């Protein structure tokens, strides 16, 4: 029996409280404390869904955001939605809880959805998924002015990896000063180690690109490789997808030092290509996804830009790099993504780049 008393003018009044009632009140009080604690924890650990459906380079450029988001919210649920072809790029990330593809995605509720694709498909996918949705704004009108009127209002524009975070200030994500990342399995590492000669330096050549106006002519790449093999002891490895196999065969047919060139075109997965790039001493590349993949390992990059320009924000990020381009060409840029042919039919944005310019830059990196 529990006795409670209160002061009065007469004798004390005694209250009788059944033990079972007392236990219930204590239980309810503890439940309230538990609920308040859970609510506070939920406020500190919101759940996130990041959406970036494609492509290789664009997904790799999201890696600083993923890492910094995890640092800011170490106990939160962070999921990622992409296309099946690019899932492997995220598969071994220690910062993600689950990677969904369009085929296996089961909509659930998140506190925040971060839509880094921001097209019709991603907007439809993200609708109703989160309490709040952040969208990446692509500055398309600024690109339009530069492409069609050569009015440059992109000079002060941040790199894309940093622009992904521009609208996320309320999440208080801190820039850690690091660059892009791609995580490999031990099997991928072994695949590259077993096929490369570690006793000599290796130059990776990524000669392909989806769009014609982003591709340095194959014959010029041959000149670059011949100069490298003639003036150094370095070997060359060719990297590319199935669409570049014919070009790789032409390179091998015309190159002077075929025995110094290893061709892995169309013979690797994305992560096996990444493993090869990790072991390269210098990477020579067009403006393509493999360029950003090389930046994930902080490799010296010699990037050849034709129809594209660095103002679009896709220069190699936080890695030693030199962009070789033709400045002052009035028709450049002709597109912000690339074209299947040169609109002016002269292709001077690429043809005016001498092979010596490229190989001499490679030599400088090899010396350093």
Can you say whether the dihedral through the CA atoms of 265, 222, 314, 332 is positive or negative? negative
Reply yes or no on whether the pLDDT at 9 is more than 60.
Answer: no
Q: What is the pLDDT of residues 173-218, one digit of tens each?
A: 999 999 999 999 999 999 999 999 999 999 999 999 999 999 999 9
**pLDDT computed for residue 21 by the predictor:** 60
Q: What is the pLDDT of residues 130-139, one digit of tens each?
A: 999 999 999 9
**pLDDT computed for residue 208 by the predictor:** 97
Phi and psi of 327, rounded to 5°? Answer: -85, 150
Q: Which has the closest alpha carbon to 65: 173, 182, 171?
A: 173
**pLDDT computed for residue 41 by the predictor:** 40
* CA distance linking residue 101 with residue 87, whole number of Å: 7
Average pLDDT, the chain: 92
Token pair in block for residue 86: 């690019």
Reply yes or no on whether the pLDDT at 13 is more than 80.
Answer: no
Reply yes or no on whether the pLDDT at 159 is more than 80.
Answer: yes
**pLDDT computed for residue 155 by the predictor:** 81
pLDDT confidence bin for 37, thresholds 50/70/90: very low
Reply yes or no on whether the pLDDT at 84 is more than 70.
Answer: yes
Q: Is 214 in contact with 338 (CB distance < 8 Å)?
A: yes
Q: Which has the closest alpha carbon to 235: 255, 208, 262?
A: 262
In a 10 Å sphere around its CB, with 0-12 CB exposed, 13-18 middle and 19+ buried, how is residue 244 labelled? buried
Reply yes or no on whether the pLDDT at 33 is more than 90.
Answer: no
pLDDT confidence bin for 156, thresholds 50/70/90: confident
Average pLDDT for residues 49-73, to the nearest whole number?
Answer: 98
Beta-strand relationship, 98-101 and 2-6:
unpaired
**pLDDT computed for residue 266 by the predictor:** 98
């Amino acid at each position: 029996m529990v006795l409670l008393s209160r002061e009065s003018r007469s004798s004390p009044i005694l209250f009788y409280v059944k033990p079972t009632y007392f236990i219930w009140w204590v239980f309810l009080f503890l439940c309230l404390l538990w609920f308040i604690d859970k609510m506070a924890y939920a406020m500190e650990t919101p759940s996130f869904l990041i959406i970036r459906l494609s492509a290789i380079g664009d997904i790799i450029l999201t890696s600083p955001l993923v890492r910094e988001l995890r640092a800011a919210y170490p106990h939160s649920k962070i999921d990622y939605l992409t296309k099946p072809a690019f899932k492997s790029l995220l598969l071994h990330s220690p910062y993600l809880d689950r990677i969904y593809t369009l085929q296996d995605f089961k909509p659930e509720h998140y506190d925040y959805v971060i839509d880094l694709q921001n097209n019709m498909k991603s907007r439809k996918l993200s609708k109703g998924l989160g309490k709040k949705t952040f969208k990446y704004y692509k500055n398309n009108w600024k690109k339009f002015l530069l492409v069609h009127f050569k009015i440059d209002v992109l000079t002060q524009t941040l790199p894309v990896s940093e622009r992904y975070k521009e609208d996320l200030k309320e999440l208080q994500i801190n820039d850690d000063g690091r660059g892009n990342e791609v995580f490999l399995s031990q099997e991928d590492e072994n695949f590259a180690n077993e096929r490369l000669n570690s006793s000599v330096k290796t130059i990776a050549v990524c000669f392909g690109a989806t769009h014609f106006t982003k591709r340095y002519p194959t014959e010029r790449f041959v000149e670059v490789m011949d100069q490298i093999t003639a003036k150094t002891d370095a070997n060359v490895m060719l990297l590319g997808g199935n669409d570049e196999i014919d070009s790789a065969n032409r390179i091998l047919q015309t190159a002077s030092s075929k025995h110094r060139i290893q061709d892995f075109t169309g013979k690797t997965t994305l992560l096996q290509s990444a493993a090869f790039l990790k072991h390269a001493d210098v990477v020579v590349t067009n403006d393509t996804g493999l360029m950003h993949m090389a930046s994930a390992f902080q490799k010296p990059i010699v990037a050849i830009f034709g129809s594209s320009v660095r103002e679009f924000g896709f220069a190699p990020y936080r890695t030693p790099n030199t962009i070789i381009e033709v400045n002052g060409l009035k028709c450049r840029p002709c597109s912000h993504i690339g074209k299947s042919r040169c609109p002016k039919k002269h292709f001077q944005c690429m043809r005016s780049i001498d092979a010596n310019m490229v190989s001499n830059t490679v030599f400088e990196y090899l010396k350093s």
